[in-house]
Structure 1
Amino acid sequence: MTLWTHDLLGLLYGLIVGVSLGLTGGGGSIFAVPLLIYGLGIPVGTSIGLSLASVGITAGFGAALRLKAREVDVRAGLVFAAAGMLLAPVGAWLGTQISAALLLSTFALLMAFIGIRMWRGKSGEGVVPGACVVRSGGGLGLGCYARLSAAGCAAGLMSGLFGVGGGFIIVPALLYVTGMSIHRAVATSLLVIFLISISGVAAHLANGQQFPMPVTALFIGGGFAGMLAGGALRSRLSGPVLQKVFAIGMWFVAAYMLARNLPAFL
């Protein structure tokens, strides 16, 4: 593969990830790591850090728009993100201590799990709020902050370890703890993902990961453009059918990753 072809594929794969991210509202970003590793031949650690950077930049753009529209619960988002930012470096470090085969196999199982949630249409709408719910004129108590922080720790650990945004944890947790609307929870999750991603990327850089240029810029730029295109197409496509298509895609990619890494355990 020539250098020019390699960079062009980086742009194309970024577009694919961006479109899937825009169409699914978050789940499609999980395709980034397998495309970087198996499509571009980028090392595992670098791919995870690059995936996290791409997801973070995209989420940051979305968060800025939602903040301007006053759709973000800044207080809940900052509490959630603070805990996640503490654990994201731990996840990044843990990834350096685990063999690539085990890390990728675990990542494949995570993809399979998210695929099941997408197939069932689990995006948070069915979450029943817990006892800790923000009421008119009320506020979050210490118990609420503890629940948000615990969920933030889980999201941060997975973000640093696998390079994913963690929206499949963040949105249901925000709904359960605060009782906010699904629309506001999704908007708030963008702020959380952005902040946790900053911490995770910084940790990967501190661990010695280097992002190859210009393919990194092309991948992130392609993802940004694809996210806008996917978001524009989302309203024209059937949501339930689209989620099932992406779920099947995740299962195929997960099966491929498990098959590639199975020999390491035999």
Structure 2
Amino acid sequence: MIQNTSLQITSESGLPILLDYTYDDAQTSHQVALFCHGYKGFKDWGAWHLIASEFAKNGIVFVKFNFSHYGGTPEQPTEFNNLEAFAEDNYTTQVQDVNTVINWAAQYFSQHPFINLNQLTLIGHSRGGGISVLVAAQNHLVDRLITWAAVSDFESRFPTGSAFEQWKTTGVYHAKNGRTNQLMPHYFQFFEDFKAHEPELHILNNAKTIKQPCLIIHGDQDEAVRLDHAKDLHQHINQSVLKVIPGANHVFGMKHPWDELHLPEKASTLAQLSINFVLES
């Protein structure tokens, strides 16, 4: 039977990281997959829970978590009601969060004899995909990498021209959330932190050093992150396989909330390609 367990751990900054893991208690041996959500996302967005169940049915424990500064709270985890934390987020913090969750998993699952921690797959969607590339390049506990509609460059995502100058002058710029209509703030520290740690946060330069097997999945109708990003990652990661899903958008046909019992076709393809890669690589 598919089971789900929820936990809360503490990030390096002191803010909570909410996480859960989904598994099939009928399975006698499990690998672990750790999923990183994207920008303006969270672990319970859309149909991620259904994808988690698909992994679990195939003997893979699926761990998903909320980045510490994603903008929600433990009391209202699917609402962006802590915009101050969101404004203080940056890429360095997100890399730290992923490593914190990996370290938690290494300790927590070591107490479970049916879990194989020598088979840890790191998965990231969108911005979380870019973060996952950085972590895979730097953390020896990652055995495989899978990216879903991942970005290949962070610097190009920042405002430019007059918008950048205004951000620098005022110290804050706002990105509209198309789903909630909220204006979500970013303090200028976001850019300053990136420049201060640019070598560690340069996705493609880090991608060149990745030794683990890697699966790159992208939709050819992605409206938020062009297919070129996937091609760039594929070109720079030596042991990578690129799979393009025809007709798939940035979220592979999903939306939030997702009230249906089954995955949309493109998301089902995404899950199956990923599961096959985990089991066969």
Relative to the length of structure 2, the TM-score reads: 0.28
Larger RCO (alpha carbons 8 Å, 6+ apart) = 1
With normalisation by structure 1, the TM-score equals 0.29
Q: Which of the pair is proportionally richer in helix? A: 1
